[in-house]
Amino acid sequence: MAHIIVIDDDKTLLQLIKNTLEKEHSVTVYTGLSGVSIREINAHDLMILDVMMPELDGFTFLKDKRREIDIPVLFLTAKNFEQDLVEGFSVGADDYIIKPFSIKELRCRITAHLRRENRGKNNLIHIGQVFCDFTSRKIYVNETELNMTPSEYEICCLLMKNPNRVFTKDEIYEKLFGFDGMGDAETTIRERIKEIRKKFKIYEEEPIKTVWGVGYQWEKNQ
């Protein structure tokens, strides 16, 4: 059983989500971000956060607090424009759930993210100056930790475990979310890769290569 925190100003939707998820998980709900501490959020395994709220919107909150939040964050939004998805991923969201959504989709996405969080590996991979620590679930360049979101970490691990193998966007998406993933693989993976590259570029590392018309690979001999 996982501990899930849900923040949305729609009380009816909150109750629906709570009633649905409580059959399998412990669910805490709030109608806004006011009074919710980072410690409270990190005491949970996963966060579901509405984008559009009257006092403080999800984009602004996550942009300011992502470095302090160490659990997956799923945005709830009625927006289905690519620019909004891009903005959400750029501030650190791990996934999007577009309203209206089905209960099946909600459960599948939550299960996929919790499964990824619970994968523990007691070993270390390093390629060049980049290290992936499966025990702590962290990525380093030399001895400097990169501030990766859970989904960015999973993408790096997948590619590092299979250096020089080319993965399509659909394959990466499937590895992250399973066969039941219902999002836009093209946008989701492209934007995650873009954010990963930004973080490596600070340290003059460019380990992920685009193979045009196919997908992405981690270059072993970078």
Identical fold for domains 3-117 and 124-218, yes or no, is no
Residue 29 DSSP class: E
SS3 content of the chain, % helix, strand, coil (to 5): 40, 20, 40
Tokens of 103: 């209960």
The 10 Å Cβ neighbour count of residue 170 is 13
13-46 pLDDT, tens per residue? 999 999 999 989 999 999 999 889 988 898 889 9
Please tell me the class of the 124-218 domain.
Answer: mainly alpha
**What is the distance, to the nearest Å, from the Cα of residue 131 to the centroid of all Cα atoms in its chain?**
20
Q: Write down the architecture of domain 3-117 according to CATH.
A: 3-Layer(aba) Sandwich (3.40)
- Give yes or no for a contact between 101 and 75, defined as CB atoms under 8 angstroms apart: no
Is the pTM for the entire model greater than 0.75? Answer: no
pLDDT at 183: 66
Domain segments of the chain as ranges: 3-117, 124-218
Q: Which residues of the chain have pLDDT under 50?
A: 120-122
137: left (phi over 0), alpha (psi -120 to 50) or beta: left
